[in-house]
Amino acid sequence: MFYYLFEYLDKINFTGAGLFHYLSFRAALAAITSLIVSMIFGKKIIRFLQKKQIGEVVRDLGLEGQYAKKGTPTMGGIIIIAAILIPVLLFAKVGNIYIILMIITTVWMGIIGFIDDYIKTFKKKKAGLSGKWKIFGQVTLGLIVGLTFYFSDDIQIREHPVASELGNPIVEVNQTHYSQLEKPLKTTIPFFKNNEFDYKKMVGFMGENSEIAAWIAFVILVIIIITAVSNGANMTDGLDGLATGVSSIIGAALAVFAYVSGNLIFADYLNIMYIPNIGELVIFAAAFMGATIGFLWYNSYPAQVFMGDTGSLTIGGIIAVFAVIVRKELLIPLLAGIFLIENLSVIMQVAWFKYTRKKYGEGRRIFLMAPLHHHFQKKGLPESKIVSRFWIVGILLAILTIITLKIR
């Protein structure tokens, strides 16, 4: 909202108002504001949760120190959501279609997570919201995102120009060298020189119906990505600061992708598709990083508050939709590798247990406990060390993801 105010002030030559035209300036303000909101208002929210006795219900998992967490306030994801939305509404162009999609994602997934936490905490049902309703919510969000891509004329891309047409791509970039705007049925394939993939190629055999079939395939893929990443973030949220820190690292990488894809010069230099108006997502990414880092103030070991499903489902949904918007959804297995391995560890554990129970009459396990972080706890590693090492792996994965821009 401040953007529009200062845009008006700039027109009447108000000193300093022009600063709001710079993404870097507004991103910095968004990050600072989200930190302030999460750290200052977070304390008040924690006190409120304590007063209402909204504490964590601890199951006996046989883990050292787990009962010390009993009664720790949960539903702290409210802090993250507030710390994201407030600066975004203040400093971003709220009329931007990509910002609108990210706000819808944050609120939508936050509501699903809040209902789940509410049922667990107030209704005393450990299972929380049933799996089918969670999936319904995730599928619905996938449909919203996919159909918005299909129907909105504001979501378009430009092909990168041919280098021979430009001469020096840093100096002589001009929008007229770009082809006409087109619908975004393309994404990025990592490690390939010609790294743009058209979804129509998957269904080319359908002839005249290939275009609509490609859109259906795209929407289905979006649904799968949202479901997988949000559940992966939920699985990862098992140790103090683990999901929060990993998410912040992923957010930093996504901010880089949003910036270079929305900048004509960098998009040409890196030979990637240019996406008009997507640079505004840098503001959202800055708020996201500020919110998660600020939440770490209270969520780092030993945690004073847990994010609950209110937070974990929200940050997972945000990461998934953000990656789809910047056309980096195929990089999710690498960028969100921590979420992926946590998810896979549970799937492998359950599948192997059921198979061996059917074959041998007793269930056997691959890991001492799943998700994977609990396996390392069972091996005797301190919680803080496990979290730190997962963060380090997350940083390595983020760096590898970013350098796919050049390694082909």
Angle, helices 383-403 vs 242-261, to 10°: value is 10
Q: For each of the chain's 408 residues, which pLDDT tens digit applies?
A: 766 665 656 567 666 666 767 788 899 999 999 999 998 888 888 888 887 766 655 555 556 555 556 678 888 999 999 999 999 999 999 999 999 999 999 999 999 999 999 898 877 777 788 888 999 999 999 999 999 988 888 887 775 544 433 443 333 334 444 445 555 678 888 877 777 777 877 777 777 778 888 888 899 999 999 999 999 999 999 899 999 999 999 999 999 999 999 988 888 888 888 888 899 999 999 999 999 999 999 999 888 899 999 999 999 999 999 999 999 999 999 999 999 999 999 999 999 999 999 988 888 999 999 899 999 999 999 999 999 999 999 999 999 999 988 887
Structural domain tally of the chain?
1
* Cα–Cα distance measured from residue 339 to residue 245, given in angstroms and rounded to the nearest whole number: 12
- Does residue 349 lie in a domain region? no
Residue 275's identity, in one-letter code, is: I
Single out the residue of 264, 229, 179 nearest to residue 340, CA to CA. Answer: 229
Coil, helix or strand for 117? helix
- Does residue 243 lie in a domain region? yes
Q: Are 276 and 158 in contact (CB under 8 A)?
A: yes
The CB density around residue 54, as the number of other CB atoms within 10 Å, is 22
Q: CB-based contacts of 172: which residues, under 8 Å, 6+ apart?
A: 166
Whole-number pLDDT of residue 298: 92
Q: CB-based contacts of 399: which residues, under 8 Å, 6+ apart?
A: none
Single out the residue of 284, 315, 301 nearest to residue 79, CA to CA. Answer: 315
Coil, helix or strand for 368? coil
Q: Are 338 and 396 in contact (CB under 8 A)?
A: no
- Does residue 348 lie in a domain region? no
Single out the residue of 75, 55, 147, 54 nearest to residue 104, CA to CA. Answer: 147
The residue range of the domain holding 202 is: 23-56+65-331
132 by Cβ neighbours in 10 Å (0-12 / 13-18 / 19+) ranks as exposed
Coil, helix or strand for 225? helix
Single out the residue of 200, 222, 206, 227 nearest to residue 149, CA to CA. Answer: 222
Single out the residue of 191, 148, 195, 192 nearest to residue 327, CA to CA. Answer: 195
151 dihedral zone (left: phi>0; alpha: psi -120 to 50; beta): alpha
Buried b (16+ CB within 10 A) or exposed e, 361-371: eeeeeebebbb
Coil, helix or strand for 179? coil
Whole-number pLDDT of residue 9: 65
- Does residue 10 lie in a domain region? no
Residue 242's identity, in one-letter code, is: L
Whole-number pLDDT of residue 163: 42
Residue 208's identity, in one-letter code, is: E
Backbone angles phi, psi at 27, to 5 degrees: -65, -40
* Cα–Cα distance measured from residue 96 to residue 82, given in angstroms and rounded to the nearest whole number: 20
- Does residue 366 lie in a domain region? no
- Does residue 212 lie in a domain region? yes
Q: Is the dihedral of CA 45, 29, 325, 154 positive or negative?
A: positive
Q: CB-based contacts of 247: which residues, under 8 Å, 6+ apart?
A: 233, 288, 292, 315, 319
* Cα–Cα distance measured from residue 320 to residue 291, given in angstroms and rounded to the nearest whole number: 17
Residue 301's identity, in one-letter code, is: Y
- Does residue 372 lie in a domain region? no
132: its two tokens: 């089918």
* Cα–Cα distance measured from residue 351 to residue 178, given in angstroms and rounded to the nearest whole number: 50
Buried b (16+ CB within 10 A) or exposed e, 239-271: bbbbbbbbbbbbbbbbbbbbbbbbbbebbbbbb
- Does residue 309 lie in a domain region? yes
